[in-house]
Amino acid sequence: MNLQRYPEAIARSAYLVNAISSKIAAIRIEIARIEGQASAAVSLDENLKEDHHRKSVRFNILQSDEEYQNLQNDLIQMIESKANAQTTLERVCNEFAVAKAEAKAVLGRQKTLTWPDTAAIAILATSLLVLLFAPATNRAVQNVAVPRVSLSSPTPDLPF
């Protein structure tokens, strides 16, 4: 994938995770509403004096409620969908990180000088140092041939 497309893909994946999270929250609110109705129905029953009887009747009410069962199933599916969406989001983020690292490596290789370039620069620098720091009266230094160096040519014109 092109590097420029990753931010959009990441945003889409994050949006999907957020949308699923919102659906999960809505389902949990509906489940809590139904559980509250079941608890209210049990608390109004005067025949249920002990707590374990009330819990048992509440459980039976919820198990027989089709809407409650459907919401429970929807919740399980949404939690699974959210986990898959988060996995996709992490995968896209990791792919983007790898693609950025690869692009940086390519740029680094493009900026690295090749051997002929570094050799030419070294020869040029050495020649300049000899000319700048050698005494002008020294005949041996005055007769030194300075090679012509071209950064575009593969090998410099050497005097030997």
160 residues of the chain, pLDDT tens digit each: 677 788 888 899 999 999 999 999 999 999 999 999 999 888 887 777 787 888 888 899 999 999 999 999 999 999 999 999 999 999 998 888 888 888 888 777 766 655 565 566 666 666 655 555 555 444 444 454 544 544 454 544 444 4
pTM for the predicted model, two decimal places:
0.62
Angle (CA) 114 119 122, round 5°? 125
Q: Where are the domains of the chain?
A: 3-111, 113-160
Closest CA to 30 of 92, 87, 94, 73: 73
